[in-house]
Structure 1
Amino acid sequence: MKKPRLAAIEYIRGVSMLGVVGIHVGAAYLGQHMTPEAVANPHIVALLEIFTRFSVPIFFFISAFGLFYNLDLSQPFVYKDFIKRRYKAVVVPYVVWSLFYIIHYCILWGDPGPLNPITILYDLFFGLANYQLYFMVLLIWFYLLMPLWVWLVKHLDIMKLALLLLFQIGINYVLCFLWNPYTVTNPILQKFLIHHLNYWVIHYVFIFLLGGYLAVHMDEFMRFMEKYRSQIVMAFWTTVGAHLGYYYYLLNVRGYTPLEGVATAHQLAPTGVIYTLGASIFFFTIFTVWQLPERCRPVLALLGKHSYFVYLAHPLALTYLGFLYDDLGILLTAPMTIIYYLLVVAAALLLAVGMRRLGEHYPIINKATIGVYPKK
């Protein structure tokens, strides 16, 4: 029997998309404030680059949740059928958007070099065609390893999840803060190691398996959220404070610049992993057991419905609105950066809605860009 639809999955996608856009707008802001004459406002950086850090890993959480929520673990897992569906939904859009960005930037900058077939294959493997596409590569690797995740979820319990959380914090700390891939002298191996964040699923294995485990045990998860909703909210804000506190500690005690602080207090730092856990449970709780104002639901549904396209296309809005800012001589001060963020979201969302409607008349558009096929 088909399970009831969970609006929370769609709503979290929308919220996560807003966070991803914030991270990239924050990067543009930092790009203009890296000199003694233009010092970055640490608080706007905290808002755009630190507070939003749950947004990438939480995508893995809801991806796994959606997969396992509709998966009957008592039945044999048909890997071939699963891969066929994921190929249409993820691999095709990934390749289409990667080729689009490669060609787009070759034309924009007048440099045909990236059109070299070896370079294209290199960019496709590591997700380097554009800065947001590495997530797609990680997701594809998660899909390819799905039989392993099915087996693990079947054998997970709360104690094993707790141990896995400790393992996640430890392995991320080692790989991100202690290990230096540049010490490897073999140039080919070095390339594979330098880009490990783009395809090593080990960096996000806990949050992915947590999503799968909670989906399989949805009834218990619902009772937990209903019973401890207040504590979940308190825990979330505690993790927010811890992650922001780590960032401000780096700036005010260790003397880091905002850019250095962002490069250290990211989602794979210990506080970032805990923050992701707190955010995942928090957002699922408020979108499931809390009574949201009715006026919020259409907005969340709209953001969730078009989050995939906005995620894939928002760099275009960032680029061309950035050109407009430059032509008008507008500097990215804190207020103008917030306006820039809102304009990027609005422009990418309008493009998403327009392309989705156009795809209803020309289905190949939706098939190629977001992996959506007409219902039979």
Structure 2
Amino acid sequence: MRNTIIDNLRGICMLGVIGIHIGSLALAPNNFTLYLFLEILSRYSVPSFFFISGYGLACTDKGLLSGSRLNYIDFMKKRLRGAGLPYLSWSLFYMLYFWLILPPGFVSWNPLHVAYVLFFGLGCYHLYFMVILLWFYASYPLWRRLLRIIIHQNIPFMLVLLFIFQLAFNWWTTHPGLNTAGWSVLAKNFFDYRLNYLPLHYLLIFISGGLAACYWEKFIALLRRYSAMVCVIFAASVAWDVQSCYEAVTVKGYTLIDLANTYHQLSPQGLCYTVGSLLFFCLALDWLERKAQSEGSLAKPFYKAISILSAYSMLIYFV
């Protein structure tokens, strides 16, 4: 049975993706408020898609809780058909597009260069998400094992530990302080594009999606019971993100583009905002769904619009 809240969460996430990719338009008038909404407060979207992916994998993994063996070959065949082929075809499409519109030399069809572009998700700037997703699929046996360990331990305590790890890992990988001048070209590329392929940056969110799948009824019941707290957490995460950006611009002299490169989804502010957003949007979609079932409810058209956006979210993302 499909979970309509998770399905419609795709639509909410896609609104964020659209905001990110038109956010640069706000740079010209130097409009701080517009840029904040489009380029900073839309950053929940990319991690939230990993929450949805973790949910989907855990839902379809019938042997997850029992600990039965995963048929890895069949699992990867299915994932490569569903995600690998679209990624390959759209990457080649964008390479062809840029080859046609850019001056000669910008795009090479040398097999090694094509492999380099595909490995790091460089066909177009938004395709890196698919590379990280494919790495999550390829390493799923590890995360499957981690999910079972968390489930058989104290879940809140394990999530706190994972949250601390996520903060530390994201901070170190985005502020490594390493001098790569003497590194080989291969090592330098792996370092420079580390944010394009390392799934560990989104491990907390991915695992949380898997846990939500295993305990969905309890998860929704907790959101309803503590709805006021969820709203406060969301508002506090927004306030911290906004205050950090405002201080950076007014006190530290940051440009708008500096904000996006600093207060992104991997920053401490961005991680807290992602967690707060996921809790809030799941609660809001649950409320919207129940309201939309009422006769003559004004929530119906809004619910339908989100559902349509969700249904075409993958195509919208690639385009």
Q: TM-score, normalised by structure 1?
A: 0.77
Q: Distance in 1 between matches of 2:190 and 2:238?
A: 33
Question: Which residue among 306, 309, 314 is the counterpart of 1:303?
Answer: 309
1:127 and 2:133 are equivalent in the alignment: no
Q: Distance in 1 between matches of 2:251 and 2:117?
A: 39
Q: Following superposition of structure 1 onto structure 2, how do residues 1-376 of structure 1 map, counting pairs within 5 Å?
A: 4-30=1-27, 33=28, 40-72=30-62, 73=64, 74=66, 75-111=68-104, 113-156=107-150, 157-180=155-178, 182-183=180-181, 185-290=183-288, 291-292=290-291, 293-313=299-319
- How far residue 77 of structure 1 moved from its aligned partner, in angstroms, is 2.1
Q: Distance in 2 between matches of 1:181 and 1:117?
A: 30
Alignment-derived partner of residue 295 in structure 2: none
Q: Deviations 1:6-60 (Å, cap 9, x if unpaired)?
A: 1111211111111112111112443xx3xxxxx6111111011111011111110
Contact 1:61–1:210 (8 Å) recurs in 2: yes
Alignment-derived partner of residue 360 in structure 1: none
Q: Is 19-28 or 267-276 further displaced after alignment?
A: 19-28
Which amino acid letter does the alignment assign opposite residue 201 of structure 2? H
Q: Distance in 1 between matches of 2:74 and 2:26?
A: 44
Q: Distance in 1 between matches of 2:54 and 2:148?
A: 14
In the superposition, relative to structure 1, how do residues 143 and 167 fare at CA in structure 2: closer, same or farther (>3 Å)? Answer: same
Q: Distance in 2 between matches of 1:184 and 1:92?
A: 37
- How far residue 69 of structure 1 moved from its aligned partner, in angstroms, is 2.2
Contact 1:103–1:115 (8 Å) recurs in 2: no
Q: How much identity, in percent, do the aligned residues show?
A: 34
- How far residue 279 of structure 1 moved from its aligned partner, in angstroms, is 0.9
Alignment-derived partner of residue 348 in structure 1: none
Contact 1:247–1:262 (8 Å) recurs in 2: no
Q: Distance in 2 between matches of 1:175 and 1:99?
A: 29
Q: Distance in 1 between matches of 2:10 and 2:160?
A: 25
Q: Distance in 1 between matches of 2:222 and 2:91?
A: 41
Q: Distance in 2 between matches of 1:42 and 1:81?
A: 49
Q: Distance in 2 between matches of 1:239 and 1:178?
A: 25
Contact 1:181–1:194 (8 Å) recurs in 2: no
Q: Deviations 1:89-121 (Å, cap 9, x if unpaired)?
A: 100000000000000110112435422222111
SS of 2:73's equivalent? Answer: helix
Q: Distance in 2 between matches of 1:184 and 1:191?
A: 13
Q: Distance in 1 between matches of 2:280 and 2:101?
A: 42
The alignment of Structure 1 onto Structure 2 pairs a total of residues equal to: 303
Q: Distance in 2 between matches of 1:27 and 1:128?
A: 19
Contact 2:55–2:213 (8 Å) recurs in 1: yes
- How far residue 86 of structure 1 moved from its aligned partner, in angstroms, is 0.7
Q: Distance in 2 between matches of 1:205 and 1:122?
A: 25
Which amino acid letter does the alignment assign opposite residue 192 of structure 1? F
In the superposition, relative to structure 1, how do residues 282 and 67 fare at CA in structure 2: closer, same or farther (>3 Å)? Answer: same
Runs of at least 5 residues in structure 2 that lack an aligned partner in the other structure? 292-298
Which amino acid letter does the alignment assign opposite residue 311 of structure 1? Y
SS of 2:175's equivalent? Answer: helix
Contact 2:26–2:34 (8 Å) recurs in 1: no
Alignment-derived partner of residue 294 in structure 2: none
Runs of at least 5 residues in structure 1 that lack an aligned partner in the other structure? 34-38, 314-376
- How far residue 181 of structure 1 moved from its aligned partner, in angstroms, is 6.1
Q: CA RMSD in A?
A: 1.6
Q: Distance in 2 between matches of 1:197 and 1:181?
A: 17
In the superposition, relative to structure 1, how do residues 181 and 66 fare at CA in structure 2: closer, same or farther (>3 Å)? Answer: farther
Q: TM-score, normalised by structure 2?
A: 0.91
Q: Distance in 1 between matches of 2:226 and 2:60?
A: 26
In the superposition, relative to structure 1, how do residues 255 and 110 fare at CA in structure 2: closer, same or farther (>3 Å)? Answer: closer
Q: Distance in 2 between matches of 1:210 and 1:183?
A: 38
- How far residue 184 of structure 1 moved from its aligned partner, in angstroms, is 5.0
Contact 2:263–2:270 (8 Å) recurs in 1: yes
Contact 2:129–2:196 (8 Å) recurs in 1: yes
Contact 1:225–1:289 (8 Å) recurs in 2: no
Contact 1:181–1:193 (8 Å) recurs in 2: no
Q: Is 151-160 or 124-133 further displaced after alignment?
A: 151-160
Which amino acid letter does the alignment assign opposite residue 177 of structure 2? W
Q: Distance in 1 between matches of 2:318 and 2:177?
A: 31
Q: Distance in 1 between matches of 2:26 and 2:44?
A: 20
